[in-house]
Amino acid sequence: MRIQVRARNRAYDFEAPEGEKLLFAGLREGVDLPYECATGTCGTCKARLVEGELKDLWPEAPGKKHLKAGEGEFLMCQCAAAGNVTAEVSKYVYAMDPGVCMPQAVGGKIAAVRHLPGDVAAVDVDLDSPIDFDAGQYMALETPGVAGMRGYSMVNFARGTKRLEFVIKKKPGGGFSEWLFAGERAGSALALFGPLGKATFYPNLAKNLLCIAGGSGIAGMMAIVDRACQESYFNQYKGHVFFGVRTAKDAFYLDELAGFQARFAQNLAVTIALSDEDVPASLASRYPGLRFDRGFVHEVAKKTMAGIYGNIRAYLAGPPPAVDASIRFLLLEAKLSAENIRYDKFS
Amino acid sequence: MTVKRICLASDVPTNEMREFTTDGGDKLLVANSGGEYFAVQAICPHQDVPLCDGFYDGCVLTCHQHLWQWDIKTGEPVGGIAEAPLERFAVFVEGGEVFVGTRGALNVGELFSGLSESTLSKLQGLAKAEEHPAGGALYQAGDPADDFFVLDSGRIEFQIGRDERTSPAGFMLRKGEVFGWAALLDAHPTRIASARVLEPSRVLRINGKQALAVLEADPASGYLAMRRLAGLIARFLAAPGAR
């Protein structure tokens, strides 16, 4: 099917096979169409149908609340072409930069599910073919029989890899996570699309890193810190990682974080923030390399970082209230410029 | 310029901002910057997000959704992410009340906002306001490029190529957007695209040579306008791989 997307600055033509979402078809062709969640929630990928017919693959997608009824608006991440389609996107759209990791559709299966504290599971996925991705990116995941895709950030960082690691939190009403937690899922087939997301870290950044993550938002931060450690980035630059959970029982990845910290003890500081309880002495003594504090993760980060915001790039992930509160203090009090505050908005 | 009373000065405390709706139903944002008042469009030019939900520190306004940022005094983007300026309104404070006047398309525009008052009024003098019904064409590819245009309202679409072999090359829909800027370049005698009117549109038509003469007489303003023109052209160049 021939697709034409008319953007504010120019038009793009590309082919889309039957059943493929228009957003994915365009991204695969190197057209940097607007999106954020890519999974039917945020509404960023909305377009207007000029000509042709669409097939809505998920009519109940929550992101449809962002569409103007009766004006032909649709979500590119949920609609496929049923014939040639011309659509309009009221934004400037550019070709992707050369050298970025090109998004693609890839099949895979769940290799292992390891249950972590706090209704969280570490999920390893083996892909049918290797992909490249950047630290901080995510994949859209889907399993047959569950409507809609879900975005999860990669925990590991590797080039040309067939193994992806994810952290998935059980969310009531979250189709994919409820399916995952409802039974034995090792060996189950998945459809994936990616890599996606722009909250990426490259070692040529040459800035000190500040990572603020709540709950399963730690996933992308693990990849960023992993890549930075692989490149010995913390020999030259400082890293400040803040990981917020409710109680000591909900914490995970502490061994991995302590391992990163021990390799670059001079420059990498990792703080675990507990929002709902005082820090148990046993926890602090078990992880002498990690710091522990009581409070919401953005509050602990704000208190700890006061006065040391020189040359900082911040990465944020987690529950929207924690991300929004972090943005607020980083802009208004830390006076970071907007381009040094990176996050992907999923809602 | 039409002037409307918006609020009491005390409604907007120092270094805070409030959204107001005029009696004509238009929304705008009034910001207090250290005791000085500024008024800008209420909705982010990126997506339909109310700017009053954003962050404001008394100088820089940030949309909370994607962190587009502007200098509240000039409406110009800062911080490296915002891709469009904010529409600004003239503000008068009298007797403890804030009045706001709407600005013409020229003052809003991406080329000329912030130029000296005298240069702006000379350009305004060159501008001919035109109304075009939907379906017409402002110019065709190959036409001489004598005039450039500033959009006031409506929607203009561009096509490159000729006869059977044309393809869409973008569209304009924001007040103050400038097109047909080949008229401001030396040795660029003909249009490279055609401009069609998609919805009933109001435009300002300005002769390129006369505008350049006005800008040359005021080098500070002229430099600012040319720098913006270079940025505007780069925005279209930054879309490689046309097929």
Tokens found for residue B169 = 């090359």
Query: Domain ranges in chain B?
Result: 3-103, 117-237
Amino acid letter at B14? T
Distance CA B179, CA B150 (A): 7
A297-305 vs A320-332: helix crossing angle, rounded to 10: 20
Q: What is the total residue count of chain B?
A: 243
Q: pLDDT value at position B238? A: 59
Q: Select the more confidently predicted residue: B237 or B64.
A: B64
Confidence check: pLDDT of B212 > 50? yes
| Mean pLDDT confidence for A244-271 | 96
Least confident of A58-62, A205-209, A275-279, A300-304: A58-62
Q: pLDDT value at position A132? A: 97
| Mean pLDDT confidence for B68-86 | 88
Q: Is B138 exposed, middle or buried (0-12, 13-18, 19+ CB in 10 A)?
A: buried
- Which residue has tokens 């399963």? A216
What is the band of B56 on the pLDDT scale with cuts at 50, 70, 90? very high
Sign of CA dihedral B53, B55, B60, B65: negative
CB contact under 8 A, B169 and A13: no
Residues of chain A with pLDDT > 70, as a percent, come to 100
What is the band of B28 on the pLDDT scale with cuts at 50, 70, 90? very high
Q: Which of B83, B171, B196, B232 to mutate to test the interface with A (most CBs of A within 10 A)?
A: B171
- Asked if the C-beta of B166 comes within 8 angstroms of chain A's C-beta atoms, the answer is no
What is the band of B242 on the pLDDT scale with cuts at 50, 70, 90? very low
| Homologous superfamily in CATH for domain A2-88 | Beta-grasp domain (3.10.20.30)
What is the band of B241 on the pLDDT scale with cuts at 50, 70, 90? very low
Minimum-distance CB partner of A338 among B57, B80, B240: B80
What is the band of B243 on the pLDDT scale with cuts at 50, 70, 90? very low
| Homologous superfamily in CATH for domain B117-237 | Jelly Rolls (2.60.120.10)
CB A110 within 8 A of CB A143: no
| Mean pLDDT confidence for A301-322 | 94
In degrees and rounded to multiples of 5, residue B136 shows phi and psi of -80, 175
| Homologous superfamily in CATH for domain A104-196 | Translation factors (2.40.30.10)
What is the band of A80 on the pLDDT scale with cuts at 50, 70, 90? very high
Q: Is this prediction's ipTM beyond 0.95?
A: no
Minimum-distance CB partner of B80 among A7, A327, A339: A339
> Could you tell me which residues come within 8 angstroms of residue A279 by beta carbon, excluding any fewer than 6 positions away?
A248, A292, A293, A294
B73 CB neighbour count, 10 Å cutoff: 14
pLDDT tens figures, A204-251: 999 999 999 999 999 999 999 999 999 999 999 999 999 999 999 999
Distance CA A2, CA A21 (A): 13
| Mean pLDDT confidence for B9-30 | 91
Q: Which of B15, B16, B47, B233 to mutate to test the interface with A (most CBs of A within 10 A)?
A: B47
In degrees and rounded to multiples of 5, residue B215 shows phi and psi of -70, -35
A238 CB neighbour count, 10 Å cutoff: 19
Tokens found for residue B32 = 């207090």
Distance CA A76, CA A55 (A): 11
pLDDT tens figures, A109-143: 999 999 998 889 999 999 999 999 999 999 999 99
Q: Is B97 exposed, middle or buried (0-12, 13-18, 19+ CB in 10 A)?
A: middle
Q: pLDDT value at position A347? A: 64
CA triplet B47, A322, A44: central angle to 5 degrees? 20
pLDDT tens figures, B109-166: 778 877 898 999 999 999 999 999 999 999 999 899 999 999 998 999 999 887 777 8
Residue A328, CB-side half-sphere exposure with 13 Å CA sphere? 11
- Which residue has tokens 């969640």? A37
- Asked if the C-beta of B107 comes within 8 angstroms of chain A's C-beta atoms, the answer is no
Confidence check: pLDDT of B239 > 70? no
Of B176, B164, B177, residue with least CA distance to B235 = B177
Q: pLDDT value at position B174? A: 81
CATH of domain A203-342: 3.40.50.80
DSSP string, A188-202: -EEEEEEEE-S--B-
> How near does any CA of chain A get to the CA of B234, in Å?
11
Least confident of A103-107, A274-278, A284-288, B115-119: B115-119
Query: Domain ranges in chain A?
Result: 2-88, 104-196, 203-342
Q: What is the total residue count of chain A?
A: 347
Confidence check: pLDDT of B240 > 50? no
Q: pLDDT value at position A151? A: 94
Task: Name chain A contacts of B196, Cβ cutoff 8 Å.
Answer: none
| Mean pLDDT confidence for B19-43 | 91
Minimum-distance CB partner of A331 among B55, B168, B241: B55
pLDDT tens figures, A142-180: 998 888 899 999 999 999 999 999 999 998 888 899 999
Confidence check: pLDDT of A9 > 50? yes
CB contact under 8 A, A8 and B69: no
Options 2.40.50.140, 1.10.260.40, 1.10.10.60, 2.102.10.10; CATH for B3-103 is 2.102.10.10
CB contact under 8 A, B81 and A339: yes
Q: Which of A324, A337, A344 to mutate to test the interface with B (most CBs of B within 10 A)?
A: A337
Confidence check: pLDDT of B37 > 90? yes
Q: pLDDT value at position B166? A: 81
- Angstrom CA distances, A244 to A224, A254, A321, A323, stand at 17, 12, 12, 11
Task: Name chain A contacts of B55, Cβ cutoff 8 Å.
Answer: 327-328, 331-332
CB B196 within 8 A of CB B138: yes
Q: Which DSSP state fits A225? A: H
Distance CA A113, CA A188 (A): 11
Largest CA distance in chain A: 65
Q: pLDDT value at position A152? A: 96
- Angstrom CA distances, B85 to A210, B80, B81, B100, B118, stand at 30, 12, 11, 19, 22
| Mean pLDDT confidence for B2-10 | 89
- Asked if the C-beta of B169 comes within 8 angstroms of chain A's C-beta atoms, the answer is yes
SS3 sequence, A229-292? HHCCHHHCCCEEEEEEECCHHHCCCHHHHHHHHHHCCCCEEEEEEECCCCCCHHHHHHCCCCEE
Spatial strand order of the sheet with A189-196 comes to: A150-153, A138-142, A189-196, A104-116, A120-131, A161-169
